[in-house]
Amino acid sequence: MERLDDFRWQIPRQGGMRVPGILYTSERLMRSMGKDESPKQVANVAHLPGIVKYSLAMPDMHWGYGFPIGGVAAFDAREGIISPGGVGYDINCGCRLMTTHLTHQDIRPRLQDLVTALFQHVPSGVGSTGPIRLKEKDERKVLTDGARWAVEHGYGTVEDLDHTEEGGALAGADPDKVSPRAMERGREQLGTLGSGNHFLEIEVVEEIFDPAAARAYGLEKGQIAIMLHSGSRGLGHQVCDDYLARMVKHLGELDVELPDRQLACAYLSTPRGQDYLAAMACAANYAWANRQLLMHWVREAFEKTLSISPKMLSMRLLYDICHNIAKIETLPVDGKDRSLCVHRKGATRALPAGHPLVPAAYRNIGQPVLIPGDMGSGSYVLTGTTKALEETFGSSCHGAGRVMSRTQATKSCRGHSITNDMADKGVIVMASGRGTLAEEIPEAYKNLDWVVDVVHRAGIAKKVARLRALGCIKG
Amino acid sequence: MTTDFKKIASVAERHFSVQGADRTDLFVNFLREILYLINGEGFLPCEVHFDEFQPGSLRAKIRGESFDTGKHKIHKEIKAVTYHQASVEQTRKGWKGRVICDV
Decide if pLDDT at A146 tops 70: yes
- Cβ-defined contact of A234 to B25 (cutoff 8 Å): no
Substitution target in B22, B27, B83 with the highest count of A β-carbons within 10 Å is B83
Can you give the pLDDT at residue B1?
A: 47
Q: CA A53 to CA A30: how far, in whole Å?
A: 23
pLDDT, one tens digit for every residue, chain B (103 residues): 478 888 899 999 999 999 998 899 999 999 999 999 998 898 999 999 999 998 899 999 999 999 888 888 877 788 899 998 899 999 999 989 999 998 8
Of the residues A38, A246, A248, the best mutation for testing chain B's interface (the one with the most B CB atoms within 10 Å of its CB) is: A248
Q: What is the mean pLDDT of residues A283-309?
A: 97
Highest average pLDDT, of A34-43, A123-132, A164-173, B34-43, comes from A164-173
Contact A240, A257 (CB under 8 A): no
Which of A344, A332, A468 minimizes the C-alpha distance to A390? A332
User: Is residue A7 within 8 Å of A457, Cβ to Cβ?
Assistant: yes
- Span A25-62, pLDDT tens digits: 999 999 887 788 899 999 999 999 999 999 999 999 99
User: Going by DSSP bridges, is the β-strand pair A428-431/B43-53 parallel, antiparallel, or unpaired?
Assistant: unpaired
* CA–CA separation, A61 and A68 (whole Å): 7
Q: Which domains does chain B have, with CATH numbers?
A: 5-102 (3.55.10.10)
Note the pLDDT tens digit of each residue in A211-235: 999 999 999 999 999 999 999 999 9
Of the pLDDT bands very low, low, confident and very high (cuts 50, 70, 90), residue A443 is confident
ipTM: 0.88
- Residue A452's φ and ψ, nearest 5 degrees, are -65, -35
Rounded to whole angstroms, what are the CA distances from A130 to A121, A138, A466? Answer: 10, 15, 32
At A466, the pLDDT band (50, 70, 90 cuts) reads very high
Predicted pLDDT at A224: 98
pLDDT one-digit tens code per residue, A398-432: 988 777 777 777 777 776 678 888 888 889 999 87
CB pairs below 8 Å between A and B: how many?
64
Inter-CA distances, B99 with A140, A303, B27, B96, Å: 34, 47, 9, 10
Whole-number Cα distances in Å, A75 to A50, A80, A338: 5, 5, 10
CA distance B85 to chain A (A): 7
Confirm if A473 and A122 have CB atoms less than 8 A apart.
yes
The burial class, CB within 10 Å (0-12 / 13-18 / 19+), for A133 is exposed
**B positions 37-96 inside 8 Å of A (CB):** 39-40, 67, 74-77, 79-86
Average pLDDT of chain B, as a whole number: 90
Q: For the residues A356-372, what does the mean pLDDT come to?
A: 97
**Cβ contact (<8 Å) for B76 and A66?**
no
Among A313, A305, A472, smallest CA distance to A377 is for A472
Angle between helices A271-306 and A233-249 (to 10 degrees): 170
What's the pLDDT tens digit per position in A237-295? Answer: 999 999 999 999 998 888 888 888 899 999 999 999 999 999 999 999 999 999 999 99
Q: Which of B39, B76, B83 sits opposite A261 (nearest CB)?
A: B83
Residue A68 gets which letter from DSSP?
A: P
| CB contact at 8 A, A314 and A100 | yes
pLDDT of res. A415:
63
Q: What is the pLDDT of residue A253?
A: 86
Give how far A183 is from chain B: nearest CA, Å.
Answer: 10
pLDDT of residue B75: 77
Nearest residue of chain B to residue A90 (CA atoms): B79
Residue A81 three-state SS: strand
What is the pLDDT averaged over residues A68-93?
A: 97
Least confident of A7-16, A48-57, A413-422, A443-452: A413-422
Q: Which residues of A168-206 are buried (b: 16+ CB within 10 A; e: fewer)?
A: bbbeebbbebbbebbbbbbbbbbbbbbbbbbbbbbbbbe
For residue A126, give the chain B residue with the closest CA.
B77
For B36-82, give the DSSP string.
Answer: HHHHTT-EEEEEEEEEEE-SSEEEEEEEEEE--TTT--B-----EE-
Are the beta carbons of A238 and B83 separated by less than 8 Å? Answer: no
How far is CA B66 from each of CA A261, B30, B61, B69, rounded to the nearest angstrom?
Answer: 33, 19, 15, 10
In 3D space, the residue among A200, A204, A139 whose CA is nearest the CA of residue A173 turns out to be A139
pTM over 0.90: yes
Residues of A involved in catalysis? 398
CA B69 to CA B56: how far, in whole Å? 37
Confidence of residue A191 (pLDDT cuts 50, 70, 90): very high
Scanning A230-270, the segments in alpha helix (DSSP H) are 233-249
| H-run or E-run covering B12 | strand B12-19
